[in-house]
Amino acid sequence: MNDTMTRAAAWLQDTLDYTFRDAGLLEQALTHRSAAGHSNERLEFLGDAVLDLVVSEHVFRAAPGSDEGDLSRLRASLVKDRSLAGIASDLGIGEHLILGSGERKTGGHRRESILADAVEALFGAIYLDAGFAAARDVIVAALGNRLENLPDPRELRDPKTRLQEWLQSRGRALPEYEMVNVSGKAHRQVFDVECRVDGDDAGARGTGSSRRAAEQQAARTMLARLQEPRGE
């Protein structure tokens, strides 16, 4: 084992209390496709599935009153790239990534997608090295209090859904969305949408790179306005 892998193995033992039986799996898990040798892409594919199973089991047990949609949203909040990149940063995996010269020069060890893929590849490598139970233990340790402090699944629903549910629970009509303006060149258009609900004359505007994104922003603004405490 070379010095780079010796440091990586010591880091893994210190941070996640795991030592590889097959050091080659650790090296592959840390190797980005920009570098020479076997990249971590296949391990990332496997680790993604192992991570999904571990997180699915956890949210299933932790949120017994949640339906399938809420469980899916809870899982997605934990396994999306941004969350995994945050875990990678907390662990310090970026310092041990094996990158090609181009990626090293452009800060690849801090790039969100590279960090997220490396974390999943590490989970996949541990699964191959020692089985599911070992991988689950490492995943639970890596996610830490993220697993214990799950968000309210209702807050993970998209703004249009939350606005609709808020109005329906109060017996009010559904919101209406109107395209106000489209600007910019064909490949970089900006959409401007207005959301209106009965009883609110002002409406709420939203902009985005797609009509859907603009509607979501308008719905978010409208919901925040409707939920503001009103004075007597």
Active-site choice (27, 44, 117, 120): 120
CATH number at 192 reads 3.30.160.20
Q: What pLDDT score was predicted for residue 156?
A: 67
Residues 141 and 170 in one domain: no
Residue 21's closest CA among 41, 1, 43, 44? 1
Cα 16 from chain centre: 21
Residue 232 included in any domain: no
Residues 116 and 164 in one domain: no
Which residue matches tokens 């925040």?
224
Q: Read off the pLDDT band of 232 (50, 70, 90).
A: very low
pLDDT digits (tens, 9 = 90+) for 37-57: 889 999 999 999 999 999 999
CATH number at 48 reads 1.10.1520.10
Of the three residues 94, 118, 151, the one that is the final residue of a domain is: 151
Active site residue 48: yes
Range of the domain at 187: 158-227
Residue 231 has pLDDT above 60, yes or no: no
Of the three residues 151, 174, 203, the one that is the final residue of a domain is: 151
Residues 142 and 206 in one domain: no
Residue 207 backbone dihedrals phi, psi, to 5 degrees: -125, 155
Active-site choice (27, 48, 103, 192): 48
C-alpha to C-alpha distance for 163 and 216, rounded to whole angstroms: 10
Of the three residues 151, 173, 193, the one that is the final residue of a domain is: 151
End-to-end Cα spacing for the chain: 72
Q: Read off the pLDDT band of 230 (50, 70, 90).
A: low
C-alpha to C-alpha distance for 115 and 110, rounded to whole angstroms: 7
Contact 125, 25 (CB under 8 A): yes
3-state secondary structure at position 197: strand
Q: What pLDDT score was predicted for residue 108?
A: 86
Buried b (16+ CB within 10 A) or exposed e, 57-80: ebbeeeeeebeeebbebbbebbbe
Counting the structural domains of the chain, the total is 2
Residue 196 backbone dihedrals phi, psi, to 5 degrees: -130, 145
Mean pLDDT of 101-130: 94
Q: What pLDDT score was predicted for residue 141?
A: 95
In Å, what is the CA distance from 105 to each residue of 137, 140, 174, 193? 35, 33, 52, 41
Residues 171 and 144 in one domain: no
Q: What pLDDT score was predicted for residue 152?
A: 75
Residues 128 and 188 in one domain: no
Residue 217 included in any domain: yes
Active site residue 120: yes
Q: Read off the pLDDT band of 124 (50, 70, 90).
A: very high
Residues 98 and 34 in one domain: yes
pLDDT digits (tens, 9 = 90+) for 60-114: 998 888 888 889 989 988 999 989 999 999 999 999 999 999 988 898 888 999 9
